[in-house]
Amino acid sequence: MSIAPVRRAAHAAVGVLAWACAQPALGQAADEAAANSAAAFDEGVTEAPSEHPAPVATGGTSAAPRLDPQAARIDALEAELHELREMIADLKGSTAANIAAVRADQRANTVTIANGRPTIASGDGQFTAAFRGVFQLDAAHYDQDAPRSLATDFRRGSFGDAVENERARDLNDGANFRRARLGVEGRAFGDWEYNFLYEFGGSGVEEAGRISAAWVQYNGLGRWKIRAGAFSPPGGLEEAVSTNGSLFAERAAASELVRGIASGDGRTAAMVWANGERWTASLAWTGNLIGAQTFDEQSAFVGRLTYVPARGPDWLVHLGINSTVVVEPPASGPDVENRVATNIRLRERPELRVDGTRLVDTGNIDAEGLSTVGLEFGAQRKNLYVQAEWFGIDVQRRASALSDPNFSGWYVQTGWTITGEPRRYQTNNGTFDAPRGEKPFSWKDRSPGVWELGLRYSVLDLNHLEGAPGTIPLASTVRGGEQEIFTAGLNWYPNANVRFQAAYQYVTVDRLSPGGTAFGAAPATPPAGAQVGQDLSIWSFRTQYAF
């Protein structure tokens, strides 16, 4: 018998194997290939010409052709095809199971802790919730002259505040939690962000609890974002940096005072803002602080523009301008025929809050509006940086022939990181944040953490036509006082969560008494023109943990 049919069958079987490996519908194809191979073999056996004539039967017997080897080969090929079909079926099943597992993992929530901050995220990244917290415990010693009676000791605090008049002569040595915050922030449906932050700290006295931030933001407009709720719109270079990473425990007095006019934590507001690699822009409408109710709510606008005109691999220059415009001050009572006073009051503490006494104060000014202009400058080269701001404040009196008072303030500060790490410039809000070390502090590994020195000189002038000492003020005079502060500080960052700040401040307050009953009935109010300011030193220390 010829072996050509067997060869043809073998070739057909090999072709079927190759074809089956490339086709998804293997089961049906394998059956068809096996059937065709068997048919081809049968046809070859019955129709192929024989090389030798069939033997003639003799003696009642005949010799039949032996087909066992060929049949065995066909059976082996069919077995291999069947095994291959089962293998591919198993592969399809396992692949489908793996895909289902991957999809299940994508849908599963994840919990991570980065730099001590717990974060929950959905598998598709559309929803996140990060828990935040910070406590800042401040301790301070106020080094000032010993107090005497009100009749002979003329040092004073806010106008008309008997408690502050007492405290100005003996500021409180002690400690308080400046900030104690807990909250959650995150993302929802991809394009939305939210933030809820509750505050239990305070200035001099801890509070029962209040809303520090509660806002929602839409990010689906490209660079531009829209935010509404309660928050502090950026109103300056120092105002925009987080207090967790600021160079000193408190902002410079001029920056803090302007911030308090129409911004600050817990301010109801709506804002549009955007940023690029070198610029930021924001504009917000603001109302009252949460918890402050007036007869008519204050209405104001806060705007800021920043730009980085020059930068290199390890240096940059920052420029900025900001403005606050109060278009409607809060009313002090029912607005009957537009005769009720709409007061604006500017006052500020030294750059520490262990004692809450304000040493400079304009008192109430009946005004129809207020506007500020702020100029910003910042520069950084490696681990050295400097920043400065100047603010001009104009108050427009309401229905008055008196001159409109103008006030001003400025500061300059510099920081040098001893261990070499630079402050981090934040492009999203145009400000300088705290340095970060590569390795946390470790006594065993001799890793020091990050050490930083800081210096600042600030001036806040709330005087208008103040006149000379010993004189009676003019009708337009505002004797709010001038405060100058020199600060030297040392910061230690053992790791990304913990910070310690030690600082020394020398405070000079030059302020004249307006006389009358400005501070209260005699002897609370010193004679007109008497010096009610003072010089003092403050030693302070802050312990902070933030995540």
DSSP 8-state code for residue 263: -
Per-residue model confidence (pLDDT) at position 67? 55
Give pLDDT, residue 42.
44
Residue type, 153: D
Mean pLDDT by 10 residues, the chain (547 residues): 44 46 43 44 41 43 57 84 86 78 71 91 93 97 97 97 96 97 96 97 92 97 97 96 96 98 96 97 96 90 98 97 97 81 96 97 97 98 98 96 97 98 96 95 95 98 97 97 98 97 98 97 96 98 98
Q: Which two tokens stand for residue 506?
A: 């020398």
Q: How many other CB atoms are found less than 10 A from the CB of residue 165?
A: 23
Q: Which residues pair with 539 in a beta bridge?
A: 141, 504
What tokens were used for 424? Answer: 């981090």
> Which residue matches tokens 């630079």?
422
* Degrees to nearest 5, angle at CA 396 with 390 and 401: 135
**pLDDT for the residue numbered 114:** 86
Q: What is the pLDDT of residue 384?
A: 98
Three-state DSSP at 26 gives helix
| CA–CA dist 14, 271 (Å, integer) | 72
Q: Residue 338: what pLDDT?
A: 72
pLDDT at site 63: 45
pLDDT given at position 335: 76
DSSP for 99-168? Answer: HHHHHHHHHS-EEEEETTEEEEE-TTSS-EEEEEEEEEEEEEEEE-PPP--TTT-----STT-HHHHHHT
H-run or E-run covering 182: strand 174-188
Q: What are phi and psi of 260, to 5 degrees?
A: -75, -10
Amino acid at 353: R
Structural domains for the chain = 1-29+82-108 (no CATH), 132-546 (2.40.160.10)
Task: Supply the pLDDT for residue 87.
Answer: 86
What pLDDT was estimated at residue 456? Answer: 98
Quote the tokens at residue 400. Answer: 């008055």
Among 228, 238, 232, CA closest to 261: 232
Contacts 24+ apart (CB under 8 A), 111-116: 115/496, 115/497, 115/547, 116/496, 116/497, 116/547
Q: Facing residues of 398 across strands?
A: none
Task: Answer whether 350's CB lies under 8 Å from 382's CB.
Answer: no
Nearest residue to 368 via CA among 407, 325, 324, 329: 329
